[in-house]
Amino acid sequence: MSRAKGPSDEDDGAVSRHAHHAAVRRLVETYFGDVWRFLRHLGVPERWVDDAVQDVFVVAARRFDRIQPGSERSYLFATAFKVAQAARRKFVREAPLDDDSVVEARVDTSPTPEQELDDKQARELALRLLDELDEGQRQVFVLFEIEGLTMQQVADLTELPVGTVASRLRRAREEFQTRFERHRNSLRGGR
């Protein structure tokens, strides 16, 4: 027998919605700039980027419970990649022929020397941070996050139980994030 909903049920729902909104707000505040730049690098014209960023965060808000802790940026970038593909198709279809941004969208989007240097430095930093993880954590992290294997595939490959893989991955994500934040703070002068 189900009980009738009372005021405390409504309060619980309001608290849950408030917590969800607060978490999504933190996600937007933390990653807005990264997602915006990523979409621009993927060729979304500047005047359409704000709409594309909004689309990314709408998807993230709807599917927030599916985002693994520590994988927020990866999830947002994967979503941004799909949104960028759709935005570019829509842009080319709908843009007037005399619109200069059509040319911009079709211009070579290969990385500039500055972007290549940034990418190289980011890869070097990632490798340094990975080197600081213990071997078990690093192995699981690389196979899952970088190589894109499923949890079961990682378990099969490493001959570990899935629960152990999940535990190591969680700890590796936390360690990686902590070390990354420490590095970022050192660049900001310890703020």
pLDDT digits over 26-85, tens only? 999 999 998 887 777 766 778 888 999 999 999 999 999 898 888 888 888 778 878 877
Q: Where are the alpha helices (DSSP H) in the chain?
A: 7-41, 46-62, 72-94, 100-106, 113-131, 135-141, 151-158, 162-187
Both tokens assigned to 35: 């997602």
Cα Rg for the chain, rounded, in angstroms? 21
Check residue 1 and give its pLDDT: 47
% residues pLDDT > 70 (the chain): 76
The mean-pLDDT minimum among 51-55, 88-92, 122-126, 160-164 falls in: 88-92
* Residues 121 and 183: beta-carbon distance below 8 Å: no
The pLDDT value given to residue 29: 95
**Does residue 164 register a pLDDT over 90?**
yes
What whole-number percentage of the chain has pLDDT above 90?
A: 25
- Classify domain 8-108 by CATH number: 1.10.1740
Confidence grade of residue 14 (pLDDT, cut at 50, 70, 90): low
10 vs 169, higher pLDDT: 169
Phi/psi of residue 49, each to 5°? -65, -40
The segment(s) of the chain belonging to CATH 1.10.10.10 are: 110-191
Residue type, 67: I
pLDDT at 174: 95
Write out the two tokens for 64.
């927030």
Whole-number pLDDT of residue 50:
93
Dihedral sign from CA coordinates of 25, 26, 31, 32: positive
Length of the chain: 191
The CATH number of 110-191 is 1.10.10.10
In the chain, CATH 1.10.1740 covers 8-108
Rounded Cα–Cα distance for residues 160 and 167 (Å): 11
Whether the per-residue pLDDT at 15 is higher than 80: the answer is: no
Secondary structure letter of residue 98 according to DSSP? T
pLDDT tier at 3, thresholds 50, 70, 90 = very low
Mean pLDDT of the residues in the chain: 79
